[in-house]
Copies of this chain bind each other. A is one copy, B any other.
Amino acid sequence: MTEVEIKKILNAIKDSDLSVDDAFDNLKELPFKDLGFAMIDNHREIRVGCPEVIYGGGKTTEQIREIIKFMLTKKNNILATRVGDEVYEAVKDFDPRLMYNKLGRTITLELNAIKKTEDYIAIISAGTSDIPVVEEAKETALILGNKVKIINDVGVAGIHRLFSKLDVIRKAKVIIVVAGMEGALASVIGGLVEKPIIAVPTSVGYGASLNGIAALLSMLNSCASGVSVVNIDNGFGAAYNASIINKL
């Protein structure tokens, strides 16, 4: 609610077009709006095509099913992450356009057409075992309206593979690097490209990889200056972040 709108209400009282009680009802929600909370509250609906996101981790199939059912009544685009086959089986009859990405474990639905960005996000992974995280990031980036280019399996153990793709990487507006084990790929790309890099450590590895802690620490200590980091296996967060940057 802007200054103009508030003054309009006040003038309506003055002009006796609005009773004090009605005006009070209009104004009592003011706090949220003045603080911009209402923007938070409602901003997703304002822009056509922006999805509600359902984090499926720790929710039962039944719970997710109810949420998606409700959201479909709101005619929103949908992104559900960390959902298994059984969830997809439980919801697919709601709408034939619901898409399941088995590797990325996402369900998406683009009810409202999304305008794609000109610039693209490059999603780069070190190894084939990192692909599930890449897929989660990809689906997230797409449903948020981004153009995406994916480059898999260019880890530093065979660094020439990376170099042959440098051109595509350098032309991206923002880069997501997905790597497990020692996570060195983030630093190497950070040393080669002057673009914002969002590093996603993955839980790929064993033993002293400590379920991704090794890659996480590695990325946080990157000697390349343009690297920031999200949680282990957090393909969604990286893509959400990248999307904000890509749309700047």
Q: Determine whether the beta carbon of A228 is less than 8 Å from that of B230.
A: yes
Q: Determine whether the beta carbon of A38 is less than 8 Å from that of B160.
A: yes
Q: Determine whether the beta carbon of B241 is less than 8 Å from that of A226.
A: yes
Let me know if A84 is at the binding interface, CB within 8 A. Answer: no
Closest residue of chain B to A240 (Cβ to Cβ) is B225
Q: Determine whether the beta carbon of B232 is less than 8 Å from that of A207.
A: yes
Query: Which residues of chain B come closer than 8 Å to A63, judged between CB atoms?
Result: 128
Docked CA distance A221–B231 (Å): 6
A231-B207 in contact given A14-B14, A188-B184, A223-B157 (Cβ < 8 Å): yes
Let me know if A27 is at the binding interface, CB within 8 A. Answer: yes
Query: Which residues of chain B come closer than 8 Å to A31, judged between CB atoms?
Result: 30-32, 34-35, 163
Q: How large is the interface on A (under 10, 10 to 19, 20 to 34, 35 or more residues)?
A: 35 or more
Q: Which of A176-204 contact B (CB under 8 A)?
A: 181-184, 187-188, 190-192, 194-196, 198, 201, 203-204
Let me know if A7 is at the binding interface, CB within 8 A. Answer: yes
The 5 A-B residue pairs whose C-beta atoms are closest, nearest first, are A207-B232, A37-B160, A184-B184, A228-B228, A214-B217
Q: How many copies does the complex hold?
A: 8
Docked CA distance A128–B7 (Å): 37
A218-B173 in contact given A28-B34, A160-B38 (Cβ < 8 Å): no
Nearest-Cβ distance from residue A180 to partner chain B, whole angstroms: 8
Q: Determine whether the beta carbon of A187 is less than 8 Å from that of B196.
A: no
Docked CA distance A228–B197 (Å): 10
Query: Which residues of chain B come closer than 8 Å to A30, judged between CB atoms?
Result: 27, 30-31, 34
Docked CA distance A56–B42 (Å): 42
> Which residue of B13, B32, B206, B214 is within 8 Å of A160 (Cβ)?
B32
Query: Which residues of chain B come closer than 8 Å to A219, judged between CB atoms?
Result: 182
> Which residue of B24, B196, B237 is within 8 Å of A7 (Cβ)?
B24
